[in-house]
Amino acid sequence: MAKEYLETLLGTNKYARGTQLILKERVLNTFDSLLRYRGLAGVEAGQKLLDLGSADGALVEVARKRGLDACGLDVTDRINFETDAFPFEDASFDIVTAVSVLEHLFSPEVFLKEIIRVLKPGGAFILVTPNWRFSAKIFYDDPTHLHPYTPKSTAFLLRSIGFENVIVVPWLVCKPSWMWRVPNAFLLARLLPFRGSSSGLIPEFLKGQSKSILALGVKPGASAHGAKS
């Protein structure tokens, strides 16, 4: 069902190519900010990036334009994220991303262990998933949603698999980093009056409403991804 649902979704206006490239540029900028906020090297040319749940490949395209060696993997590549090994060698990637994937898996154990395997020591995993605290009423409107998460359960899951330097913050796209560390940051993100895609006539400080989680974990070991100097 997941493959058929994705193929249907890719045919909607939401996945118009121009729109997706603009959105994924902002997504990659936000990932870069989170990495630097956590004291790591940001998204830089020459790095190897794997985007899981790559859909139409827009994030991969944006990353390649920035000089990264990027590739994607999704159900359309005939892989089952719950049971299958990724077709990559150990310690291959500096960054692995997964936007709106975790909630589609009954059990994420194999998926996360494969991410640990293909990351270089010190490499970073970044995920985005709905925050059950704010999305409970609509979470199962998507028939492929299987497993909800909260900030607490997301952090616990990443640490239990073996990730270090874990941080879980609101999914605020292209917002100042201070918004990640204020008290009740998730509530603040929820209470912003407008979504980030709202009209350009709306001031930026009123935009960015989010019901989702942004999380980062680092594979233990020597820093291949690198800390900021």
**Does residue 138 lie in a domain region?**
yes
| Structural domains counted in the chain | 1
User: How many CB atoms lie under 10 A from the CB of residue 110?
Assistant: 16
Which residue segment(s) compose the domain that 46 sits in? 2-218
Residue among 229, 178, 196 nearest 37 (CA): 178
**Does residue 50 lie in a domain region?**
yes
pLDDT in tens, the chain (229 residues): 555 555 555 555 555 656 888 899 999 999 999 999 999 999 999 999 999 999 999 999 999 999 999 999 999 999 999 999 999 999 999 999 999 999 999 999 999 999 999 999 999 999 999 999 999 999 999 999 999 999 999 999 999 999 999 999 999 998 889 999 999 989 888 887 545 554 454 455 555 678 899 999 999 996 555 544 3
CATH of residue 65: 3.40.50.150
d(CA 126, CA 124): 6
pTM of the model: 0.88
Strands 212-218 and 119-130, how do they pair?
A: antiparallel
**Does residue 179 lie in a domain region?**
yes
Q: Is 71 exposed, middle or buried (0-12, 13-18, 19+ CB in 10 A)?
A: middle
